[in-house]
């Protein structure tokens, strides 16, 4: 009888002790409480950023020259009379043969800045080396940015012919500006050409007697077009001095 009483007393004490223990209800996954030490699987995904992916293609299969720069841009082409502004661009330097894959990130918030204005965007690509244009897409490639495109977009590039006039790596200064049909090329008005790319070039402005920028479409146009300001000034410097001399001769005396 004594042993039975002792057993009952011990059982009551143990019951009270265990009933006072505090156990977490989800102890099996308590590692979540230290989740700040772990990176979620999608932490690298930025909800405000999207991408345009695709490939640059060309009928020309020759190897690109060493040092070529491959530039792919998303541009706002909403206003036809204004030079297309780049939304974002990527420059590739490690691809040397077509097809060339590209990926351009862009900010969705930047696209949604003015919801009341309909914007149009296009992809443009070119390949150049030392300021000399090698390949270009001569047609606009429209792209819808919201929602982000799912399928890759192919851009066909056309090989550009060798320029007729000195580029930035030519150090020969002409003794007189070249002429076409008796007209100095420096007198020609800037001509964007027939294609729809957006490439910054330089032309000689006869009114300001200085080289200024304009937007070239990538094909056609005239020869008052230079890849750099230096090339423009070298070619048209003689013509500029001739204008100054003529103005000095025509100025009234006294």
Structural domains of the chain, count: 2
Based on the fold, state whether residues 80 and 96 are members of the same structural domain.
yes
Based on the fold, state whether residues 144 and 179 are members of the same structural domain.
no
pLDDT at 168 over 80: no
Please give the Cα distance from 217 to 212 (Å, whole number). 16
Whether residue 157 is contained in a domain is answered as: yes
DSSP assignment letter at 32: G
CATH of residue 123: 2.60.40.2990
Better-scored residue on pLDDT, 127 or 217: 127
Residue 252 pLDDT level (bands cut at 50, 70, 90): low
- C-alpha distances in angstroms, 156 versus 57, 88, 111, 161, 233? 5, 20, 26, 16, 33
Please give the Cα distance from 205 to 227 (Å, whole number). 15
- C-alpha distances in angstroms, 202 versus 10, 120, 160, 225, 236? 99, 26, 18, 6, 11
Better-scored residue on pLDDT, 4 or 106: 106
CATH of residue 185: 4.10.410.10
Whether residue 1 is contained in a domain is answered as: no
Q: Which domain holds residue 102?
A: 48-161
pLDDT at 29 over 70: no
- For the entire predicted model, the pTM comes to 0.52
Based on the fold, state whether residues 150 and 67 are members of the same structural domain.
yes
Q: Are 203 and 225 in contact (CB under 8 A)?
A: yes
Based on the fold, state whether residues 55 and 149 are members of the same structural domain.
yes
DSSP assignment letter at 226: B
What does the pLDDT look like over 190-223, one tens digit per residue? 998 877 777 888 999 988 889 999 988 777 788 8
What does the pLDDT look like over 32-75, one tens digit per residue? 333 333 333 233 346 688 999 999 999 887 889 888 999 999 98
């Amino acid at each position: 009888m004594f042993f039975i009483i002792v057993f009952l007393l011990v059982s009551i004490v143990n019951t009270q002790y265990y009933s006072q223990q505090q156990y977490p209800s989800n102890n099996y996954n308590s590692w979540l409480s230290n989740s700040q030490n772990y990176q979620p699987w999608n932490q690298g995904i930025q909800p405000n950023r999207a991408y345009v992916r695709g490939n640059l293609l060309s009928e020309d299969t020759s190897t690109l020259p060493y040092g070529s720069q491959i530039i792919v841009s998303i541009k706002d082409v909403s206003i036809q009379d204004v030079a297309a502004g780049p939304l974002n661009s990527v420059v590739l330097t490690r691809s040397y043969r077509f097809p060339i894959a590209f990926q351009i990130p862009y900010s969705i918030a930047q696209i949604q800045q003015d919801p009341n204005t309909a914007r149009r965007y296009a992809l443009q690509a070119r390949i150049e080396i030392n300021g000399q244009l090698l390949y270009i897409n001569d047609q606009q490639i429209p792209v819808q940015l919201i929602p982000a495109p799912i399928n890759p977009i192919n851009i066909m590039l056309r090989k550009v012919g060798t320029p007729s006039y000195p580029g930035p790596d030519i150090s020969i200064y002409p003794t007189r500006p070249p002429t076409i049909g008796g007209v100095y090329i420096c007198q020609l008005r800037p001509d964007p050409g027939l294609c729809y790319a957006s490439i910054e070039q330089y032309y000689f402005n006869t009114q300001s007697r200085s080289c200024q920028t304009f937007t070239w479409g990538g094909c056609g146009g005239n020869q008052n077009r230079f890849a750099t300001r230096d090339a423009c000034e070298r070619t048209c410097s003689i013509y500029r001095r001739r204008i100054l001399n003529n103005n000095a001769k025509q100025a009234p005396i006294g």
